Each structure stands twice: as structure tokens, then as C-alpha cells.
Structure 1
Amino acid sequence: MGPGDPGTMFPPVPLVALVAAALLIGGFLVRQIVKQRKPRGFPPGPPGLPLIGNILALASDPHVYMKKQSKIHGQIFSLDLGGISTVVLNGYDAVKECLVRQSDVFADRPSLPLFKKLTNMGGLLNAKYGRCWTEHRKLAVSCFRTFGCSQKSFESKISEECLFFLDAIDSYKGKALDPKHLVTIAVSNVSNLILFGERFRYDDNDFLHMIEIFSENIELATSAWVFLYNAFPLIGFLPFGKHQQLFRNASEVYDFLLQIIGRFSENRKPQSPRHFIDAYMDEMERNEADPDSTYSMENLIFSVGELIIAGTETTTNVLRWAMLFMALYPNIQGQVQKEIDGVVGLNRMPTFEEKSRMPYTEAVLHEILRYCNIAPLGIFHATSRDTVVRGYSIPEGTTVITNLYSVHFDEKYWTDPEIFYPERFLDSAGQFTKKEAFVPFSLGRRHCLGEQLARMEMYLFFTALLQRFHLHFPQGFVPNLRPKLGMTLQPHPYVICAERR
């Protein structure tokens, strides 16, 4: 054969290797087909593509897609996420029926490859429903009470952070600014006081970089690449794809958290905790003789990271949406300011105690939470044992998605839900009224443990901001009201002018 002959360029592949490859591919296909078979009595759902099921349908506005599918298949239907059998709960009645009436059954987390890789199913938010979750949630709740919102003095610390935030905005002298950076640091500093006992400066670029990485991972976590990785973990060996960026980000954050945990645990006195890190290390020492203890440095890192992002991402986006909507609806902004002026005045900071005397302000904040759906799908749940719901059989370990967007746009409970209308939270006498189908912090065993703190933050930052400033868009600026898709729905970057009143 000559040098250009194909036979010399591509040596023949041994027949045994070809047969082995064919068997591997055939075995994979058979396994995937078996995985994609629905269990007997499983809820119906939309048809999917071979191998990948309904994954591609979730690439854009999955919460909207799921609500539309519920019109066809009912409030409880199934999706095939590449062989991962998944049940979706739509509407308030279905979510309440599962998360409240069968709270233990729906309190688990799915053992998805992404969760296993990032947290080994430990920590707090992604922990399996068992000892690890019980111990870590109990400790977190205790620390929130001891170092946070159960202390009257903690409100003054939030108000102090509000002043730093307002002064930072004031430095722009009414010129256009993108508030994301300032809001993010201000909100995260409230959680930082509980976790580390200290706040971070607004020009601390290392901490801001970590928060931005967290925010990027929140977006990446719902990309098609991640859904594909969960279905086919072998693609983790590919050097490209958004899942690889997520992994690189997570590794960088892990190293940073290890560093700041070491920094804030210096000069620690055992059993005299100053913050969450100290309290956690006390538990590690107290349980070091227990071979089954779930307290570890790895789980401390996971817990701190989860509490930072949970305490920052959602409240930050609520306030960013609130600022955008106040500039968009100056008449609503004016009514809020009139109420603040009448109850608080202009010469002192608002207090949380005055919230009950400001029903319209409370209604506006609630409507922002309802309408903007900061966490439309929450965090995925899983069934801890076999169960039956509305005649459907749902096996143990089934992934469960709670579509909170569909709850807040449930026509049974909300009139014209697609309209931004704060008055829906007021009665005929103009007093604030609670709504049963208002569940931005979810329901059941896994509901947000920082709800009380988040409500206090949102109210104090929002009222302090509108007490001092009038918000409006620069001349000719038109905001993009379509949310950026991720595990949370955040506004696209925008600029706003904050002029002293």
C-alpha cells in the first residue's frame, strides 16, 4: 500500500472492539428505554423524545410550560427528564395536598447527579430527609434566633445596613445607576452578621465576586446541559458545556468559603459562639465521638454556601424588582410614600413594628412577591416512600417539582392574576388581608427557614429607600420586563435614577 492509502492511515479496528462497543451502546439504549417506562398508575404527561424525554421543553420558561401542560394533563402530571421520572404539582390545591397533608412523604430531595457532585447530598438545603437535614436545620434555626431576627437589636443592625445602602445610592447624586451591586452586598450583609458576625464592605471585590458566581450558578442550574448531565452523567467527561462552567464555579466558591471559615473561626472560644460558624464547630466537637455524626467541615462549607445564596439571591431580586416596578408605576410609588410619610415621617428610620399600620405598602410588597415569582419552581423535592395522590401511584424516590408560579397565577384563587394589582391584598376597608394561595416561601417541612428574616429585610429596605428617594428611569430608557431564567427569576440589568425627595 502507498503512503496515501486509507489502509495505512486508519488501521483496521479489531472485531472484538467493535462488538464490545455495539454491546455497550445497545445495553445503554435498553437501560434507557427501561428507565423511561412509567410505573403502573403513574400520572400521565406530555409525550417526550427518545432518550431525552421532555428535557428540551424545559429550555425556556419551564414554569410557564408546566402550567400550560396542567391545562391538558391535570394539576398533577409527569415529565420524563431523560429517564428521571418526575411529577409536577400545579395549582395551590395540589401543592398543599402534597406538601402539607403528606409533608413527610414529600420532604426528601432527589439523588440527582448534580446534587451528588456539588454537595454529596449533605449540607442543609440539598440534604436527604434524615438525620443530616434534621440536625442542620435545627442548628440553622437556632442560630437565626440567637444571632438574628429574634433579637430586637438585630432590627437596628438591619436599619444600620439600610443607611449604608442609602448613602451608597446617594453618592450617585441622582444620576443613573444599576442597583444590583449595591442591593446584593447590602442584603448579603444581613445574612453575614448571622454567619460570620461581621458585614462586608461594599467595595470588597472578593466577596462580590463570590456572590456573582453563586448568581451565575443559579442561572446555569436550570440549563439544558444540567438536565442532560442529570440524565446522562457520563457527559461530565466532556470538556465543554454549561455544566462544566457550573462545576468550575462551585470549586472556586468552595475554596473561598474554606478560606473565610478559617478567617472567622480564629480566636474562637468553645461553647461561646459568636456566630453560625462558631456554633457549628461547637457541634462538631460535641459529636466527634459519634461515628454517624453529620457535622463535618465539608458539610459546614456546604451549609454556609447554601445559607449565603438563599439569604442573598431571593431577597436581592425581590428588591431589584421592587425598585423597577416603583419606577414603572409612579402612582403606586407615590401612594407608598404617602403612607410612609404619614406613619413614619421623614426624620427617622421606619421600624418593623409599624408594618401593621402600613397596609398599602404591605400589599405592594406581597404583590411583587406574587407577580414576580422569584423562585418559580423552588428546590426540587422527592418522595421519601411510596404514596398515592388523587389515585396516582408515586413511588419512593420520585423527583417532584412544585410549580409555585402556577400557585400565584391560579385563576381559582386570583382574579386576573396576569395583572400587577396590589389592591388584591386589601379588603373593602383598605386593610391588609392575607391570601391562602400566597406561598413564595413554599410550604411543608422544607419551607424557607429564613422567611421571618426575609420579610423583615424586604420591608425595612423598601420603606427606607422610598422614604428618602424618588425612583425613576433615565430619559428614554425602557426596561426589559421579561425575567432572566434560572432557579430564580431576576430582572435583566437596568439603570435607575434615585433622587432625594
Structure 2
Amino acid sequence: MDDYICLITVLLILIYLWLSWYRKPKNFPPGPRGLPILGIVPYLGKHPEKVLSKLADKYNPSVMSFRMGRMDWIILNDIEAINQALVKQGEDFSGRPKSPLFDMLTNGCGLVFVDGERWKEQRKFGIMALRSLGMGKRILDEIINKEFEVLANHFESSGSSIDAMTSLRKAVTNITCEVLMGKRFEYNDPVMEIITEHRFRENTKFLQSIALSLCHNLDKNIITLISLVSEVLLNTINSLAVIQEIIESHKRNFDQNNKKDFVDYFIDEMLYKEGNYFTDEQLCHYTRDLLVAGINTTTALGWGIVCLLLYRGHQTKIAKEIQQVIGKFNSNFISKITDRMPHLRSFIQEVHRCRSIATLNLPHRTTRDVRLNGYDIPKNTPVLTNIWRVHNDPRVWKDPHKFNPGRHLDSNGKFVHSAHIIPFACGYRRCLGERIARAEMFIFFAKIIGRFEL
């Protein structure tokens, strides 16, 4: 009799747990629950953005939910839902999910993984500082052109076979370092190796993958995950040490009447603002966040070179356009004449569309109970944006999986900017260095195509 009662009790508990697993918040977006404890993690595979896109077709093409671990997540699948959430209701979706790993890496500092008042204050400062430094103006062109000449000389001295990605990564790193710290490094400098080390460069992508893909062979992935976390932590320590040394040098030579870079502006702010938002530790992590974001531009540049190699006709067409517009590169301010080079602009926009750098972007978090597209989403719900799906939406793009820059030209051959391409995200968390990245891509491609045949 006692065994019978125990069996009934266990069954009731299992039924309760099973029903609890499938229970959702009231009026929550539809979506799959997956397996108990794991949710849909085992099904995500190597391309979670594509798996989630297929699930969206089944459950809801705009706003869908899914269970991952013990948490309910939201994913926004089209540009309308993304704009509604991140732009029109931007403050409600501006948080970041809490994570012990993120806290361990940043100690609650920086910009990318913080939220609340610290994030608001630091983002406001970052916009002000970069604007004061002349981002988007002539000075940025000068920095990029100067570094390109070093890169071009490096290419020419390397012979016909070039490790383009490594060289591009170092050039982009130097541009970012010039803006942030007023300093560039020789390509063979050991400090350059620390800054551009693989896991440092891929840090945001790595952290996103942790959140989404402990999938398939769980034992193997846990071992790999532990190894990667250790590697990232070690590299974080090394890179922060480099940045701290540069900051100390800035503090020793600080001239309030001659602020030359981001670090100088931050030090100036430290002199007048009290509290936890303007400290040495915050400056270290903030600078590192911006460095990682800046170096990630290399990925788009690399994919652009791949596309030039695969589709030689576009390389020829752009080279002819460049020759007609700026001749033999007597002009060092190419970004000022972008309107006269529609083929190059359409090529770059198609690279952004076809080869999204952040397919799912970093997750957001709702900061209060919100309503979106008729659904109720509780406070502290993690939210993803499927940028890959937006860039491959067949309702917007004919043959979305084909590389076709011509889709961004009108009947008169003029470039057409698309609001459906968001490589730098949108809304409150939009990439702070977008202007720098766009200028880098345009000038680098214009000069590479005009000067070399790939």
C-alpha cells in the first residue's frame, strides 16, 4: 500500500513538473517549449538563426517565444517588430540579461553588457566624446587614409600572395586605437598581437554562442566551453593590462586644453564627476568594449574581399567607377564623394545583407512589463533580434540567398538605401562606432579596388 502511495505521489509530481514546464505567462507570444530543462537548445545546431527562422514560420513570423534552459525568451523576426521594440519602445527593451559570466568578464563595467543608469550615462558620454573628436568629419578620413597607406605598402612588400585578413585586422585595430587612445602599433608589435588575438576579436560572437548553443554533444561542448571561457578570461586580463598601461600614460601627460582621444575625454570627465560611473576600471572596460566592436569590422571587410574574388564582374565595374570619379586617387577624402559611386555603395550594402556580422545580435532584456504586437511580455524577459532573417526576408528580397548588388540600384542607376539592412542594429543599443565602421569600409574598398587587382 505504501509503495502504491509513493508511486502515485511521484507520478503526480512528474505531471505537475511537466505541466509547469509547458505553462507560459498569460498572453505570451507562441513558440516551442522543447525538452524539459534544456528547452530548444539541443535543436539549435551551428546556425541557430536559421533554425529559429524556420520555427518563426511555424509559430509567428513577427514575434515568437521559445524556452531555453529555465527561461522564456522572445525573438523578433521582422523589421517591423524590431523597430517597434528597439526604436519606438526602445527604453523598455534596453536592458541586458543578467549573466555570471558577463559579470566575471566585466565586473559590472563597460558599455556592452551593462544597463540601467550606468549604461545611459556612459552611452551619452560616448556619443559626446566621439562627436567632439570629429567622427564623421574630415579628421576620420585622415586617420583612415593614413592607415591605408601603411596597409597598402605592407601588401606591396608581401608579394602576390597575402594574408589579407590578418593585415586588415591590424589596420582596423590601429584606426580604432587612434580614435580611442591616440596611438597606433606596428604590425609586428607584441601589443598588437594581444589586442588582435583571436578570442579577443571574436569576444562578442563567442558570448552570444554561449547563450545559444550548448547543443548536440553536450559533454563535448561543456569541455569546449570551459576551455573557451578560460581562454577568454586570460585574454581579458592581458588586454586590460595593456589598456591600463596606456591610460596611466595618458593621465601622466594629460592636458585639459588639448584632449586628443576618447581616453582624454574620459579622464577629463573623471575630474568633475563623482560616483561609480567614471572610474579607471570603467574606462578600461569601456575602451575594451569599443576596441572589440571596432575590430569586428574586419569580418565585414573580409567577406567583402571574398565577394570581390567570387564575383569578378563587380570588381571590374567598381574599379571603372572609381577611375571615373577620383582618377588616380589624388583625393584623400573619398567619403565626401560617396554619392558619385553608387556601384561601390550597393556592393557594400549587399555585403552587409548577405553576410551579417551579428546574425542574432546580443540579447536585450525588457526593463518593465511591456506589450508588443498585442502580446504581453513580462519584465526581465530576454529578447533576441534575428537580423539574419531580416536580411533574408523573401517578402523584401527577391532570391535573398543570391549575392546581387544591383538590387540596391534604381532604374536610373542611383543607389537606394534600405531600412531593411541593419548590420549595426538599431534603437537605443545601436553600435556606437557605426560612423567609423562605415567610413572604414567605404574608403578601404575604394582604395583597395582602385589600387590592386584581387
Q: TM-score, normalised by structure 1?
A: 0.81
- Matched residue, 2:416: 433
For 1:441 and 1:239, how far apart are their aligned partners in 2?
A: 27
- Aligned partners of 1:262 and 1:95: how far apart in 2? 41
| Aligned counterpart in structure 2 of residue 333 of structure 1, from 304, 310, 315 | 315
Q: Is the 8 A contact 1:159 1:460 kept in 2?
A: yes
Matched residue, 2:185: 200
Asked whether the 8 Å contact 2:194–2:235 carries over to 1, the reply is no
- 8 Å Cα contact 2:110-2:285 kept in structure 1: yes
Alignment of 1:402-417 (within 5 A): 402-417=385-400
Q: What are the Cα deviations for residues 145-183 of structure 1, in whole angstroms up to 9, with x where unaligned?
A: 222424423312211111111111111222x22211110
Query: Counterpart of 1:462?
Result: 445
Return closer, same or farther for 1:302/1:369 CA change in 2, 3 Å cut-off: same
The alignment-based identity, stated in percent, is: 32
Matched, 1:135 2:110: no
How far apart, CA to CA, are the structure 2 residues paired with 1:121 and 1:207?
26
CA 1:98–1:245: 2 relative to 1, 3 Å: same
RMSD value, Cα: 2.6
Closer, same or farther in 2 for the Cα pair 1:226/1:364, shift >3 Å? closer
Structure 1 stretch 414-423 or stretch 220-229: which is displaced more? 220-229
Deviation of 1:362 after TM superposition, in Å, equals 0.5
- Report how many aligned residue pairs link the two structures: 432
Match of 2:373 among 383, 386, 390: 390
Which residue number corresponds to residue 451 of structure 1?
A: 434
Assess, with a 3 A threshold, how the Cα gap between structure 1 residues 31 and 137 changes in structure 2: closer, same or farther.
farther
SS of 1:80's equivalent in the other structure is: strand
Report the Cα distance in structure 1 between the residues aligned to 2:142 and 2:35, rounded to whole angstroms: 55
Mapped to 2, the partners of 1:123 and 1:154 lie a distance apart of: 24
Aligned amino acid, residue 423 of structure 2:
P
Quote the Cα distance in structure 1 between the aligned partners of 2:156 and 2:423. 31
Once the 2 structures are TM-superposed, how far is the Cα of residue 345 of structure 1 from its aligned partner? 1.0
Q: Is the 8 A contact 2:66 2:72 kept in 1?
A: yes
The alpha carbon displacement at 1:349 in A equals 4.5
Q: Distance in 1 between matches of 2:273 and 2:19?
A: 45
Which of 407, 417, 429 in structure 2 is aligned with 1:424? 407
How many angstroms apart in 2 are the aligned matches of 1:344 and 1:136? 40
**Contact conserved, 1:36 with 1:84, CA < 8 A, in 2?**
no
Partner of 2:5: none
Residue 113 (structure 2) aligns with: 126
CA pair 466-283 structure 1, distance change in 2 beyond 3 A:
same
User: Residue 338 of structure 1: CA displacement?
Assistant: 0.5
Give SS of 2:429's match: coil
How much has 1:33 moved relative to structure 2?
Answer: 9.3
Aligned residues of 2:31 and 2:59 also touching (Cα < 8 A):
yes
Greater alpha carbon shift after TM alignment, 45-54 vs 458-467: 45-54
2:90 aligns to what SS in structure 1? Answer: coil
Q: Within 5 Å, give how 1:167-178 maps onto structure 2.
A: 167-174=153-160, 176-178=161-163
Residue 39 of structure 2 corresponds to residue 39 of structure 1: no
Name the structure 2 match of 1:155: 141
Instruction: Tell me whether 1:345 sits opposite 2:331 in the alignment.
Output: no
Q: Structure 2, unaligned stretches of length 5 or more?
A: 1-12, 216-220
Measure how far apart 1:197 and its partner are.
Answer: 0.9
Deviations 1:382-435 (A, max 9, x none): 111101112221111110001111111111211111110001100000000112
Q: Which residue of 1 aligns with 2:7?
A: none
Task: Write the letter of the residue equivalent to 1:210.
Answer: I
Q: Which has the higher helix share?
A: 2
Query: 1:271·1:279 contact (CA, 8 Å) conserved in 2?
Result: no
Q: Is 2:368 the counterpart of 1:368? A: no
Contact kept in structure 2, 1:387 and 1:395, CA below 8 Å: yes
The CA deviation at 1:273 is 2.3
Which of 161, 165, 171 is equivalent to 2:151?
165
TM-score normalised by the chain length of structure 2:
0.88
Partner residue of 1:77? 64
Q: Deviations for 1:315-367, whole angstroms, at most 9, x for unmatched residues?
A: 21111111111111111100000100110112424511111000011100100
Distance 1:121 1:429, change over 3 A: same
Q: Which deviates the most, 458-467 or 200-209? A: 200-209
Give the Cα–Cα distance (whole angstroms) in 2 for the partners of residues 259 and 172 of structure 1: 32
1:323 aligns to 2:305 (yes or no): yes
